Structure 1
């Protein structure tokens, strides 16, 4: 049976959209900084997500476990546990309230405990739109973050507070079917920018490109490349009087994602379409 294909003009538009997302990172990634030597060793992320889609009354949610390593499947140093409750205002507009715990350690001495422990609360607004066969997602997130450090002099009952705002533009393109359904292979890309209202205002940039398969009505898997650039503000070096210009640190990562989606439809019913935007 022949699979439906895209008209040439529509295929060109889809390709431009996908490529444009990757190009968004270009100007920001090189904005007036003194580069630091890149970390040429690839890191790895594993993301496991349980999704409860919105029901008849619009309520849904998710729970996620994530781990990160400084190398491929070794030198583990970071984990997070998070979740949220969502509400579908319309078919393409969703709000979410989330919270999570984020722990960073020294992979050379995990027994010493965390270096930084962060608790986070965030409000999220997501808008999706189809463009031909491609589906776009605009995600806005406002975060409140409380962090403690292992050697911090701040009292135990206090934590350092910082706010942050994030915007992500994602695109998913199904390959062998016109829409997402069991057995569909797909491409997925996004670019996300992070802003700190206290400055430096541009804090981080993430570029993601990969692909996956919706194995069945419940399970979706993805593998991807993710490049993350962190920016550090210009600062004086304590005790030396030296001034260090603003710097950036880039890291390439292999990201493996498993999403299990709880389906409310009966076995003989066709569940609502699920677009596998990267959960993190």
Structure 2
């Protein structure tokens, strides 16, 4: 790897670990995320596309299952660097110490999304904007409705080819912020860094880590001021993506291997 390539990779290599360390007041033991996704990309001839995804999360490394989600969406490519999507999903959280007691909460979610991409000779950037509507049902028979805004900046850097296609190794890093209109306004920050490989035109494999930090609001309780604090957790991420192909599709433009979560 020559010095020019290394210089281009250095910001991606450092961004995830440094941001994760800076944002955490307290950390928890490492967890594990498994993500499986099937995508039907849009093309210049067929602008409609979509995806379906299943995800499971464990509180520890390969143990203590507590969470899963099932979701899908329909996308429309306005042009090769500009797409919109409408999606929905079901998210279930349980107590890993007592799974037989049933879910702690079940969430049903709908969202609208806009994605813009910027592609240079080597570095690829993706800006994703999302508005979410969330309906939550809790074990104690209470329910709630919440809304949330999300923005994610995702960077990709192919290692052995100028574009990400069959036979390409690549680095990926992103930072995503979650905003709650009712507070805490800055609800969550998610930082990811990983290594990916696309062995064929259809299959994408990624291994990485994500640091997810949740924030609370400053408050007064019993006459005492409680400052804003955050609780952060690192997770190992194993993601497998399969891209479907259309028989009549013309040669596709470069498609970034973004995680749909």
Length-normalised TM-score, structure 1: 0.85
**1:272 Cα offset (Å):** 4.1
Pair 27,77 (structure 1): closer, same or farther in 2 beyond 3 Å:
closer
Q: Decide which of 197, 211, 229 is 1:247's aligned counterpart.
A: 229
Which residue in 2 is equivalent to 1:149?
138
Paired residues of 1:263 and 1:271 also in contact (CA < 8 A): no
Paired residues of 1:194 and 1:202 also in contact (CA < 8 A): yes
Which residue in 2 is equivalent to 1:53?
41
Alignment deviations for residues 71-117 of structure 1 (CA, whole Å, 9 cap, x no partner): 01110100000010000001100000000000000000111110011
Pair 265,173 (structure 1): closer, same or farther in 2 beyond 3 Å:
farther
Point out where structure 1 has 5 or more consecutive residues left out of the alignment.
none
Which residue in 1 is equivalent to 2:56?
67
Q: Supply the distance in 1 between the matched residues of 2:50 and 2:3 (Cα, whole angstroms).
A: 37
Query: May I ask how many residue pairs the two structures share in their alignment?
Result: 260
Paired residues of 2:154 and 2:172 also in contact (CA < 8 A): yes
Q: Decide which of 66, 86, 94 is 2:75's aligned counterpart.
A: 86
**1:23 Cα offset (Å):** 8.4
Matched, 1:18 2:12: yes
Pair 257,186 (structure 1): closer, same or farther in 2 beyond 3 Å:
same
Pair 75,177 (structure 1): closer, same or farther in 2 beyond 3 Å:
same
2:258 alignment partner, SS class = coil
* Correspondence 1:162-201 to 2 at 5 A: 162-201=146-185
Which residue in 1 is equivalent to 2:23?
29
Paired residues of 1:92 and 1:128 also in contact (CA < 8 A): yes
Q: Decide which of 256, 265, 279 is 2:238's aligned counterpart.
A: 256
Q: Supply the distance in 1 between the matched residues of 2:103 and 2:128 (Cα, whole angstroms).
A: 30
Residue range with higher mean Cα deviation, 15-24 or 104-113: 15-24
Length-normalised TM-score, structure 2: 0.90
Paired residues of 2:12 and 2:193 also in contact (CA < 8 A): no
Q: Supply the distance in 1 between the matched residues of 2:120 and 2:255 (Cα, whole angstroms).
A: 16
Alignment deviations for residues 166-196 of structure 1 (CA, whole Å, 9 cap, x no partner): 0000011111111111111111100000000
